[in-house]
Amino acid sequence: MKILHAAAIGAALASTALGAAPALAGSTDGHWQVKVLGSAVLPDGKITRIDKDLIGLPAGAQTKASDNVVPTLAVEYFFTPNVSAETICCTSAHHVTGAGPLAGAAIVDHAVLIPATLTVKYHLPLAGGIKPYIGAGPALYLWLGERPGAAAAGLGAARVRLSNELGAAVQAGVDIALGNKGYGLSLDAKKYWVNTTAHFTTAGGVEALTTRHKIDAWILSAGVTYRF
C-alpha cells in the first residue's frame, strides 16, 4: 500500500494542476508549472553483490542496463518565487545484458521502470527570464513487467523479479521564460542513487540466482513549460 500511495502522489498533483490550467491565465509568477519533456534515461545496471548463485556464474560476470529516450511530464508547485516542489511522471523500458564473460547475453528482458520522484528546488532568478535551479529529494524505483532474457531462460530461470526500492535524487537545470504569458523552455539533469535486487527463480519456485545491482541512473531532459 505504501508503494501504491507514493506512486499516486505524482498522478494526483498532475491531475490537480492540469484541471486548474484552463481557469488560470499563464504568468511567469504563477504557483503551478507544467513541463512536457523528452528525457534520456541512462541507468547503470552493474552487479555489486551476488547473494545466491546455484547456476555457477563465471568469474568476473557483469551486467549493464540499456538506455532509453521517453516523454516525461513534470508538475511543479511554487511555495515562494524561489522555492518549489516538483514531481515527474514517466515510464521507461530497459533490457539488462551481460558484460565481461557474459558479454552479449540477454539477462533481463523489457523491465519497465517508474522513477517516482519528488524534489524540493531552489531557483535563482536572473535577468531575461532565466532561472537556474538546484533540487533534491526522495525517489522510489518501481519495476513492472520484467522477464528473463534468453540467456537466463536457457539456464533455467522461469521468472525474474526486480525489487522496488527507495533512494535519493539530486537535480540541476534552468527554466527560460518566453515572454510574460507563462510559456518557456527547460533543461534539466537528475542523478539518482537507487539499487535493486534481481531474484531469478526456476519453474519449480527455487530461487537459483540473486544479484544486487547499482542502477544510479541519469535522467537528462529538455522541453517546453507552461506556468500559471
Question: What is the secondary structure of 148-166 as a DSSP string?
Answer: E-HHHHHTT--EEEEPPEE
Selection from 148, 143, 145 nearest residue 201 by Cα: 148
- 149 phi, psi to nearest 5 deg: -75, 175
Selection from 47, 69, 52, 15 nearest residue 216 by Cα: 47
User: Stretch 30-41: mean pLDDT, rounded?
Assistant: 98
pLDDT surpassing 90 at residue 3 = no
Domains and CATH numbers, the chain: 2-227 (2.40.160.20)
Taking a C-beta distance cutoff of 8 angstroms, is the pair 104, 97 a contact? Answer: yes
pLDDT, tens only, 89-121: 999 999 999 999 999 999 999 899 999 999 999
